[in-house]
Amino acid sequence: MPQMTAGITPAGEGEGGVAWNILGQTYKPLQCSEASFAFHTLFPDGTFVPPHIHAKQDEFIYILDGKFELMLAGETKLAGTGDLIRMPMGMPHGIFNKSGQPVRALFWVAPAHGLYELFTRIHNVGDPAEVVRIAAEYDVEFLPPPG
């Protein structure tokens, strides 16, 4: 995990010029410390993060532009521009862009608990099963499909 320093991460950039491609979504780190990790995301239409659980992190999403459909603790919810989504640690959640438009959002987790390293490892990994396997090493558990 990089050491947090004082400064400004310029608009549109990831800290240190970093940008990850995670299964077709773009993630750019904005801030990282042991206490928290913030990153900007771009979800093209039709992309999603399947239902999963962060056992050791609270997660938040502030929607900058667009609309997400969410699965939160087994319920379907909609959130749009300006909304803040709160997902306490241990709560199953999934994030889906079914809006017909890209969604831009600010995500953050507390504590960071290795998420920066996870994203570094799964950058450009095209096999979802391999992403799931690696994520488990960081206490992110993907749930089996319903059915």
Question: For residue 58, is it within any domain?
Answer: yes
Would you state the torsion angle of the CA atoms of residues 26, 107, 131, 120, taken in this order, to the nearest 10 degrees? 70
pLDDT at residue 20 is higher than 90: yes
Task: Give the max Cα distance, the chain.
Answer: 48
Radius of gyration of the chain from Cα atoms?
14
CATH code (residue 80):
2.60.120.10
Model confidence, pTM: 0.93
pLDDT at residue 146 is higher than 80: no
Arithmetic mean of pLDDT over the chain = 94
Q: What is the DSSP string of 111-140?
A: S-TTHHHHHHHHTT---HHHHHHHHHTTTE
Question: For residue 60, is it within any domain?
Answer: yes
Domain total of the chain: 1
Q: pLDDT of 26-81, one tens digit each? A: 999 999 999 999 999 999 999 999 999 999 999 999 999 999 999 998 899 999 99
Question: For residue 66, is it within any domain?
Answer: yes
Question: For residue 78, is it within any domain?
Answer: yes
User: Span 97-125, mean pLDDT?
Assistant: 97
Residues contacting residue 47 through CB under 8 Å, at least 6 positions apart:
23, 24, 25, 97
Per-residue confidence (pLDDT) for residue 65, from 0 to 100: 98
Question: For residue 67, is it within any domain?
Answer: yes
How far is Cα 50 from Cα 96, in angstroms, rounded to an integer? 8
pLDDT at residue 96 is higher than 60: yes
User: Span 93-102, mean pLDDT?
Assistant: 97
Q: What is the DSSP string of 15-83?
A: GGG--EEETTEEEEEEEE-SS-EEEEEEE-TT-EEEEEEETT-EEEEEEEESEEEEEETTEEEEEETT-
pLDDT at residue 136 is higher than 60: yes
Question: For residue 11, is it within any domain?
Answer: no
Q: Quick check: 146 and 71 in contact, CB under 8 A? A: no
Range of the domain at 97: 41-113
pLDDT at residue 124 is higher than 70: yes
Question: For residue 104, is it within any domain?
Answer: yes
Question: For residue 20, is it within any domain?
Answer: no
Backbone angles phi, psi at 76, to 5 degrees: -90, 130
